[in-house]
């Protein structure tokens, strides 16, 4: 169960100053952020639970209707965490999305094989972003995922309480927490420092690369482009020869504009509820977008996916695909590569069983008729 034992095990192993990056919290209260505006919608049992022996989508949890979305701090949860995520995704036959601020090089991840996607933030110095696009293109990444909802940064009081800053700067709260997690401190910081090097934003341009753990350097973080326009997306479309996805869309109008400017897919996402805690829930936006754009572009959704039944609900509401975030990060923080394998297996098994209980043999049979609304 991704929403129960695994998060607790992950938090026991990893320090709060690192695992806080994988948890969503309400900024004022510190309580978990609800990514849905209403109660979870229960699936309605079908007339009979059908055998999934002929299910070509999720046999052995391979090639299911979900993939691993971009999570920038995986390298702080486990040594070379992005590599573990990529290997597990390749083994399961699902996509893995490497984030711009990742701590494993694009070349290392590309060498794993499988279905590799690359997530892009557009910086003010756009030439540096264009260089990343060219690298991803030359490394044969399958898709480019352009995030459009993070130019202003974020306000996360729980990060401050836990002593977490990005890039990290030494402080009493964080050091006290690290001392309570000696295994994490040894594996991620000390052992890495003696072998592969301390976690750093290795894909950043030369002048902006810096160690993100125990770093007192002066290299700045590349400033985000806060004035991103649809013209920027058109420019990226001319540079990128394969599938182009726009992530962070939260209304039907923007979804239509993204498609009109060359996007092959959109991800309905509120950044995990971590940038603006009062934003709409992606599932509610999905109700508006899927009936209008379904079939013309690939409609994806992320946020709050902890169980296979959550994947089913998204597909039943019209999504073509679902991206995972914290679910696989919990597995990573708890047990590394084997933990990610287990998280994917659990989600796939839950999805398959739930689909059977609502009387469907394959994802294409899902629809609102299986939901209690």
In CATH, what number is assigned to the domain containing residue 281?
A: 3.20.20.70
Q: How many domains does the chain have?
A: 1
Domain assignment present for residue 276? The answer is yes
Domain assignment present for residue 367? The answer is no
Of the pLDDT bands very low, low, confident and very high (cuts 50, 70, 90), residue 3 is low
> Can you give the pLDDT at residue 55?
32
29-44 pLDDT tens trace: 343 333 444 444 555 6
> For this structure, is 158 an active site residue?
no
Domain assignment present for residue 277? The answer is yes
Domain assignment present for residue 29? The answer is yes
Domain assignment present for residue 371? The answer is no
* Rounded CA Rg of the chain: 20
Q: What is the distance between the alpha carbons of residues 232 and 227, in angstroms, rounded to a whole number?
A: 10
34 vs 317, higher pLDDT: 317
> Can you give the pLDDT at residue 121?
94
Count the helices and strands in the chain (H runs, E runs): 15, 8
Length of the chain: 373
Domain assignment present for residue 100? The answer is yes
Catalytic option among 150, 158, 181, 271: 271
270-304 pLDDT tens trace: 987 777 778 899 999 999 999 999 789 999 999 99
What phi and psi, each to the nearest 5 degrees, are found at residue 68? Answer: -95, 120
Q: What is the distance between the alpha carbons of residues 167 and 181, in angstroms, rounded to a whole number?
A: 20
Q: What is the distance between the alpha carbons of residues 98 and 85, in angstroms, rounded to a whole number?
A: 9
State which residues form the domain around 336. Answer: 5-34+60-158+220-352
Q: What is the distance between the alpha carbons of residues 69 and 87, in angstroms, rounded to a whole number?
A: 14
Question: Is the omega angle on the peptide bond into residue 167 within 30 degrees of 0, that is, cis?
Answer: yes
Domain assignment present for residue 98? The answer is yes
Domain assignment present for residue 211? The answer is no
87-118 pLDDT tens trace: 999 999 999 999 999 999 999 999 999 999 99
- Check whether 168 has a pLDDT greater than 70: no
Global pTM reads 0.86
């Amino acid at each position: 169960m991704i929403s129960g034992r695994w998060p607790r095990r992950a938090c026991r192993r990893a320090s709060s100053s690192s695992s806080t990056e994988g948890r969503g919290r309400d900024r004022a209260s510190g309580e978990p952020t609800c990514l849905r505006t209403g109660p979870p919608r229960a699936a309605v049992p079908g007339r009979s639970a059908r055998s999934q022996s002929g299910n070509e989508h999720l046999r052995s949890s391979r090639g299911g209707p979900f993939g691993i979305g971009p999570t920038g701090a995986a390298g702080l949860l486990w040594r070379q965490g992005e590599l573990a995520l990529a290997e597990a995704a390749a083994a399961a036959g699902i996509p893995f999305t490497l984030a711009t601020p990742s701590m494993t090089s694009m070349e290392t991840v590309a060498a794993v094989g499988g279905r590799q996607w690359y997530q892009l933030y557009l910086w003010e110095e756009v030439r540096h972003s264009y260089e990343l696009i060219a690298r991803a293109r030359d490394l044969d990444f399958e898709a480019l995922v352009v995030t459009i909802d993070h130019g202003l940064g974020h306000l996360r009081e729980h990060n401050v309480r836990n002593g977490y800053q990005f890039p990290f700067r030494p402080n009493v709260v964080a050091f006290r927490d690290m001392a309570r997690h000696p295994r994490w401190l040894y594996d991620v910081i000390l052992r890495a420092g003696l072998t592969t090097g301390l976690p750093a934003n290795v894909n950043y341009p030369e002048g902006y690369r810096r160690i993100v753990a125990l770093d007192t350097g002066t290299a700045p973080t590349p400033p985000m482009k806060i004035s991103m326009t649809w013209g920027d997306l058109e420019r990226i479309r001319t540079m990128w020869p394969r599938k182009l996805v726009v992530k962070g869309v939260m209304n039907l109008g923007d979804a239509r504009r993204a498609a009109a400017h060359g996007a092959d897919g959109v991800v309905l996402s509120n950044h995990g509820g971590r940038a603006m805690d009062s934003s709409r829930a992606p599932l509610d936006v999905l109700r508006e977008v899927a009936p209008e754009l379904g079939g013309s572009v690939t409609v994806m959704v992320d946020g709050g996916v902890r169980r296979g039944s959550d994947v089913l609900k998204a597909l039943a509401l019209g999504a073509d695909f679902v991206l995972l975030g914290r679910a696989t990060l919990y597995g990573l923080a708890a047990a590394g590569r084997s933990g990610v394998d287990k998280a994917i297996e659990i989600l796939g098994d839950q999805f398959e069983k739930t689909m059977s209980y609502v009387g469907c043999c394959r994802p294409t049979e899902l629809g609102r008729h299986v939901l209690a609304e």
